Amino acid sequence: MAVRSRRDLYIVPLINVVGARRSHVIFADICWRPFDLRFRDLLDNMRFHAEVIKTEIEFANHHTLRGVQQKMSKAAEKLDKLEAALTTRSRNEDKHRGIRTKRNHK
């Protein structure tokens, strides 16, 4: 049991010297500390762990979003290349049609 207050320095060693079982140490701690103080510690611990979990979730979301952003960036680059290739092909086909049309009109 961790030392949390001055009371712990005096009571817990005395009980342990007598050779009491662990349950007696817990009972002495419960009797000595008011319920609201014990409950406040529990709430503080819960708040701390909630913040840790919230931070982990935010980190996971950030990591996931970064991965999605990289994939979208690569997809946009591919799309730009395809668009440029289609534009070039369309121009080439227009030139080829123009040459055919001139030959057919002669």
- 26 with 5, same domain? yes
- 60 with 97, same domain? yes
Residue 39's pLDDT is what?
83
- 72 with 57, same domain? yes
- DSSP per-residue string spanning 29-95: HHHHS-HHHHHHHHHHHHHHHHHHHHHHHHHHHHHHHHHHHHHHHHHHHHHHHHHHHHHHHHHHHHH
With cut-offs at 50, 70 and 90, classify the pLDDT of residue 5: low
* Mean pLDDT score, 70-90: 93
CA separation for the pair 48, 76 (Å, rounded)? 42
- 57 with 100, same domain? yes
- 27 with 57, same domain? no
- 54 with 94, same domain? yes
Q: Does the pLDDT value for residue 9 go beyond 50?
A: no
Number of domains in the chain: 2
**Identity of residue 86:** L
Domain that holds residue 47: 35-105
What average pLDDT does the structure give for the chain?
A: 78
Residues whose CB falls within 8 Å of the CB of residue 9, separated by 6 or more in sequence, listed in order: 3
